[in-house]
Structure 1
């Protein structure tokens, strides 16, 4: 069963969907946020699978994306997205279908870093899943991603360097436009080698088709200013996450630093790491998506239900 709900974040209406199992009453809940420029439509397969396993799931669109409000469109703002997450968790705890004492967080890629920060600040969170997370780990992470792009995708260093220079130029241009109150300067999310975009990859056509096919409100563009304000990992964040933490990494990831993400996860008091022999975007397609769903559902089931509830379920 699915119904549309909404909540306010920073004076903007955010649209959400509640996926609930057939059973009546409050259930353990999962709040799910999409990565980077994604939309909640692209989380439907996960949300339905978790609901089929007895969880109540709340997905939502950030401000500036999907069905949520916010102008201009397609602006990725880390501070705003964290505020949207806090508002979504508050909304989830207010819903009669969700047990407010059994709320967990699920994030993927860009939002994988968000859920780690949120869990570190909210001791009521019961469990956390971060899938191929972008923790925002700085220059070391960038070097690792460049190395992976060269070795695993065959993209020449010259091509990567040229794209990097053009990306920063676009970011400055967009920042200037924003300060003058002008519309954003957009870049594509997916672009071929030799082009300029957030994801420069020989397989960009496949990634683009999948994103468009699963997200009817998704757009292949974003405001370039993000590159001047990237997410940053604050040392000691994982150590402050008291809830059980599952980090799923893709061994052949060329978009995030899988090795550093796994190292960070292991510093959490109750951190677990699962590794898969695939690339960053392969995890959104079967058979790997289904395998991850099963692993994540098992993790959530172990940590969200009390022993009595497990027996009843």
Structure 2
């Protein structure tokens, strides 16, 4: 069963999403809190993951990140990773207020950018009983230097500085495409598979998605270091799902982070690239996450 939900964050922004409950629910159930990655909206396959979790007996709270999709927030299309981290924590608090939620059995799931967020939240919020981080961002700075050619870094940093000066003078934030068909064109996620997945998923499932973010979002991406928290997730159980062919949130960064994590932990390696976790590798990715949550929340 799915119903629409809305809740307000501590700073007064209304976030909207879905609440799933397992069929035949009796009493309070363990609940998973989840949101999407960089610029993506919940219709971009989060329903499929939530349905898989609900079928296993779990409640699921899915929400659109602030400034995106059905959620409120200004400026539109801006991604502040630390605000998104705080929104995860507010979503946990909201989940605790629901009569259907067992507040002692809350898990979190994130993918790509939000895969980094759940590492941070799992390290700092002990209400979280277990977490799944799928194809996660580990280091914004290191990852950006893998995506942006070395001879273009100075120009990107100059654009950040120019945007700051313009905003100081009252101008609207500069915008940049999320993806571009030409991987050499200026965009936030300059890989061919990013272009294919976002455009195809937008057309098939997510008309609310827009191919733009503020330039400041990219600057904040480069400042964000969720991997610094991974050793502090323990003793909360951590499942890391890594796509071995991932060259967007690069696989070697994720594998290195797994080695720094403490137990209890588990690693699942998918054969495909970053976006295969949502499509071709969905059964393996969702099944591993479902089993992890069942082991630590349903059997606890």
Q: With structure 1 as the length reference, what TM-score do the two structures score?
A: 0.86
Structure 2: which 5+ runs fail to align? none
Q: Give, in whole Å, the separation in 2 of the partners of 1:226 and 1:101.
A: 34
Q: Give, in whole Å, the separation in 2 of the partners of 1:177 and 1:53.
A: 51
Count of residues in Structure 1 that have an aligned counterpart in Structure 2:
292
Q: What is the deviation of 1:193?
A: 2.0
Q: What is the deviation of 1:236?
A: 5.1
Q: Give, in whole Å, the separation in 2 of the partners of 1:211 and 1:117.
A: 28
Q: What is the deviation of 1:204?
A: 4.8
Q: What is the deviation of 1:271?
A: 1.6
Aligned to 2:172: 183
Worse overlay, 291-300 or 198-207:
198-207
Identify if the C-alpha distance between structure 1 residues 131 and 16 changes in structure 2 by more than 3 Å, giving closer, same or farther. Answer: same
Q: What is the deviation of 1:283?
A: 1.8
Q: What are the within-5 Å matches in structure 2 for residues 93-242 of structure 1?
A: 93-136=96-139, 138-139=141-142, 141-142=143-144, 145-146=146-147, 160-161=149-150, 164-191=153-180, 192-212=182-202, 213-230=204-221, 231-233=224-226, 235=228, 237-242=230-235
Q: Give, in whole Å, the separation in 1 of the partners of 2:97 and 2:39.
A: 27
Identify if the C-alpha distance between structure 1 residues 240 and 285 changes in structure 2 by more than 3 Å, giving closer, same or farther. Answer: closer
Q: What is the deviation of 1:2?
A: 1.0
The equivalent position to 1:296 in structure 2, one of 286, 289, 295, is 289
Whether the 8 Å contact between 1:3 and 1:17 is mirrored in structure 2 is yes
Structure 1: which 5+ runs fail to align? 147-158, 308-313
Q: Give, in whole Å, the separation in 2 of the partners of 1:117 and 1:109.
A: 13
SS state at 1:41 partner = coil
Deviations 1:35-80 (A, max 9, x none): 0101122211111111111110001112111111112100011221
Aligned to 1:65: 68
Q: What is the deviation of 1:135?
A: 1.9
Whether the 8 Å contact between 1:21 and 1:56 is mirrored in structure 2 is yes
SS state at 2:207 partner = coil
Whether the 8 Å contact between 1:173 and 1:185 is mirrored in structure 2 is no
Q: Give, in whole Å, the separation in 2 of the partners of 1:62 and 1:137.
A: 19
Whether the 8 Å contact between 2:35 and 2:114 is mirrored in structure 1 is yes
Q: Give, in whole Å, the separation in 1 of the partners of 2:166 and 2:205.
A: 31
Aligned to 1:49: 52
Deviations 1:80-111 (A, max 9, x none): 11111111010011111211110000000000
The equivalent position to 1:269 in structure 2, one of 259, 263, 270, is 263
> RMSD over aligned Cα, in angstroms?
2.1
Identify if the C-alpha distance between structure 1 residues 5 and 204 changes in structure 2 by more than 3 Å, giving closer, same or farther. Answer: closer
